[in-house]
Amino acid sequence: MAHSTLLTSRGIVPRLLLLLSFSPVLHSCKDHVDAAGADHKAKGGEAPIVDVLVARPRPISNDIEANGSVVANEYVELHPEISGRIVYLNVPEGAQVPKGTVIARINDADLQATLEKSKAQLALYQKTEERERKLLEIQGINEADYDLAVSNVNSTKADIDYTQAQLDKTIIRAPFDGVVGLRQVSPGAYITPANIIATVQQLDKTKVDFTLPEQYSGVVRKGSLVDIQLDARTNVRRKGLIIATEPQINLSSRNLKVRALLQDGAAHPGAFVKVFVNAGVDKRAIMVPTNCIIPEDRNNQVILVKDGKAKVVNVETGVREANDIEITKGINPGDTVIVTGVLFARPDQPVSIRSIKTNEDENTPTAANAK
């Protein structure tokens, strides 16, 4: 009996008191859930609420947008061809220089000495060759001795030509008319062919290099025009004349490299630009928002509304704009496409349409189009 009384006082009674204390809260939660469910049914919660678009063909511009970079008409990095100490440096930074201007000279004292030595040897070998030629005429020497004298003359002349070529390499000149860049070395510095003295760029004409996917390789042709947007903050576009295309498509990216000559002024080489290529005549096509496309492994899909129910269809896409994409197959004019609430729509299940719009400037269609 004592044990039973202890169980009652420590087990059952406290639990009854705890349930009685939470009873009002449980009733309140139940009332709240019932009210929410009633409100959900009152608002049509049995079917997901969606916004739809009635597909209509509209005019589109078949422009391809590509990224490009500005390049100078001519560009070169001035490297010395031989190593040595700079004894003369003429780098007018940012100035225009004509072709052939001496930019730098490298110490050539050792080469000059070698050249003078070779010239002295040549003079001696030439006199020896003249004497032995006369002796050969009177059979004073054999022909082998004369051939050796001739060989010495020719070898020394070759040494002189080689030394002169080395001397020419000690002078760095501007290869064409252009603007000199920033100086990279100082007078008296020891430089090697790996060092850059400065750059020279021809800026009277600038070109734009850009790439296009391989499927558009037939669109670009030499002599055709493209639109080039230099400043992203404005919509001002310039014309570019296509002058060449890379013969081979890049194997890794499958893109075709195109070069266009910028018209109406120059730009800074290296600048980023947008290039717009017209891929054909303007046309009319069904366009839908890109966010209503459901990507699959093999197909793209959209959800239509037919007889008040959702229906999933496969589609093929074409031209892509900023917010819309062309549907080339799978949707017919007049079809009702779900544009918002796509994730909540289930195949062959009813949907509740909140708003209807069209992608063409016309009167809003009636709800009959969505039935």
Last residue of a domain, one of 169, 189, 213: 169
Do both 226 and 272 map to the same domain?
Answer: yes
In a domain, 189, yes or no: no
Burial class of 228 by CB neighbour count within 10 A (0 to 12, 13 to 18, 19+) = buried
Domain that residue 217 falls in:
65-72+205-278
Last residue of a domain, one of 124, 144, 169: 169
Ordered per-residue pLDDT tens for the chain, 371 residues: 344 433 334 444 344 333 344 444 334 434 433 433 333 343 445 788 999 999 999 887 777 889 999 999 999 999 999 999 999 999 999 999 999 999 999 999 999 999 999 999 999 999 999 999 999 998 888 999 999 999 999 999 999 999 999 999 999 999 999 999 999 999 999 999 999 999 999 998 899 999 998 888 888 889 999 999 988 777 788 999 999 999 999 999 889 999 999 987 778 899 999 999 987 656 788 999 988 898 887 889 999 999 889 999 999 888 777 788 889 899 999 999 999 988 888 888 999 989 888 765 444 333 333 33
We report the CATH number of the domain holding residue 126 as 1.10.287.470
In a domain, 259, yes or no: yes
Do both 295 and 364 map to the same domain?
Answer: yes
Q: What is the DSSP letter of 56?
A: -
The torsion region of residue 334 among left (phi > 0), alpha (psi -120 to 50) and beta comes to: left
Do both 246 and 292 map to the same domain?
Answer: no
Reading across the β-sheet that carries 84-89, which strands appear in turn? 171-173, 102-106, 84-89, 190-191
- Distance spanning both ends of the chain, measured CA to CA: 76
We report the CATH number of the domain holding residue 216 as 2.40.30.170
In a domain, 236, yes or no: yes
Do both 216 and 272 map to the same domain?
Answer: yes
Helices (H), the chain: 2-7, 13-42, 109-137, 143-169
Task: Indicate the number of domains in the chain.
Answer: 3
Do both 296 and 350 map to the same domain?
Answer: yes
Residues contacting 204, CB < 8 A, separation 6+: 73, 266
Separation CA 339–CA 237 (nearest Å)? 33
In a domain, 135, yes or no: yes
Do both 236 and 290 map to the same domain?
Answer: no
